[in-house]
């Protein structure tokens, strides 16, 4: 390694240390309850609403390194959400940086809110499932959200509410996701015996064509850009209305 390469590497390392330190300080400020600057101080509610004609059992999991989501006495985040819009629930996310995933399990054996997990579900907790990824409390209060359709079981859309509109940033919080039942259109070879539509090249192309506001692989981007700051609520809707998602679908 030449000396200039070496010094570049060292600078990069120093920069990473600085960034790690800044992240640590931000975390410390958040956990000690110090008022942080501006929008980054808002807490966000995660609301789940089930418009499907069947019940879903949402599974909400925090990513590694962030606080877990609040649970009830059984250590459960949510039980069954009834269909047809009756199932509606709100979770107050921890303040500070948080990120995690929401999936909709279906066909579970547990029937009411008091039944303890683990539930036995037709979908299991493994793919193929549609995944909503949400992060809040990023730099300056940045929030980000995406729907992964690496596999598909239930149509999901994410809509932030009560977000900040600041000069030069924020205010772009479109409804993103997929309002189409991709399982119904699944190529024969990609159908999962447990229901839903599995990953695979033919399925991925279908997913992206029908739902341009989703991620179908790690490098994919949504058709509709987002720049969302400090939403007071992020709403995850199962089986959203067909016209609710930002990018239009032409049949
Ligand atoms: C940040 O949140 C804390 C706790 O809710 C509150 O006491 C404080 O006043 C807030 N600070 C700002 C700048 O909004
Ligand atoms: C990811 O998805 C996009 C959109 O469908 C596609 O253009 C791209 O080739 C995919 N990349 C990989 C590595 O599969
Ligand atoms: C968040 O949810 C809690 C509990 O349901 C509620 O008291 C609070 O008003 C909600 N906050 C916002 C900003 O909607």
The ligand with the least distance to the CA atom of 203 is 2
48 CA to centre of ligand 3 in angstroms: 13
Q: Using the 8-state DSSP alphabet, how is residue 130 labeled?
A: -
Instruction: Output the residue whose Cα is nearest ligand 1's atom 4.
Output: 33
pLDDT at residue 123 in the model: 67
pLDDT tens-place string over residues 24-37: 444 433 433 333 34
pLDDT at 161 over 80: yes
Q: What is the mean pLDDT of residues 16-44?
A: 47
First and final C-alpha spacing in the chain: 57
Mean pLDDT of 151-156: 94
Instruction: Give the residue from 139, 210, 194 showing the smallest Cα distance to 202.
Output: 210
Our mutation pick for probing the ligand 3 site, out of 39, 47, 90, counting the most ligand atoms within 8 A of Cβ, is 90
- When pLDDT is averaged across residues 103-124 and rounded to a whole number, the result is 67
What's the gap in Å between 77 CA and the centre of ligand 3? 16
Q: How confident is the model at residue 19 (pLDDT cuts 50, 70, 90)?
A: very low
C-alpha 45 to ligand 3 mean position (Å)? 6
Q: Considering just the CA atoms, what is the radius of gyration of the chain in Å?
A: 20
Burial of 138 (0-12, 13-18, 19+ CB in 10 A): middle
- DSSP type of residue 213: T
Q: Is 14 left (phi over 0), alpha (psi -120 to 50) or beta?
A: alpha
CA–CA separation, 33 and 231 (whole Å): 19
């Amino acid at each position: 390694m030449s000396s200039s390469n070496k010094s570049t590497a060292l600078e990069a390392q120093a920069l990473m240390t600085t960034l790690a330190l800044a992240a640590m300080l931000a975390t410390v400020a958040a956990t000690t309850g110090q008022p942080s600057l501006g929008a980054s101080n808002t807490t966000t509610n995660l609301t789940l609403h089930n418009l499907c004609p069947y019940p879903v059992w949402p599974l909400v999991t925090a990513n590694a390194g962030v606080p877990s989501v609040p649970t009830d006495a059984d250590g459960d985040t949510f039980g069954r959400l009834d269909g047809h819009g009756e199932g509606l629930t709100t979770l107050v996310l921890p303040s500070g940086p948080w990120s995690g995933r929401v999936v909709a399990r279906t066909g579970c054996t547990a029937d009411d809110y008091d039944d303890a997990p683990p539930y036995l579900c037709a979908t299991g907790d493994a793919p193929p499932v549609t995944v909503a990824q949400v992060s809040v409390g990023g730099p300056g209060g940045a929030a980000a959200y995406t729907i992964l359709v690496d596999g598909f079981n239930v149509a999901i859309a994410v809509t932030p509410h009560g977000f900040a509109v600041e000069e030069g940033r924020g205010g772009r919080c479109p409804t993103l996701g997929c309002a189409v039942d991709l399982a119904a259109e699944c190529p024969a070879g990609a159908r999962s015996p447990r229901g839903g539509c599995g990953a695979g090249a033919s399925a991925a192309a279908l997913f992206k064509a029908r739902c341009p506001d989703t991620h179908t692989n790690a490098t994919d981007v949504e058709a509709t850009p987002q720049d969302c700051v400090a939403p007071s609520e992020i709403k995850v809707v199962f089986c959203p209305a067909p016209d609710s998602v930002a990018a239009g679908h032409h049949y």
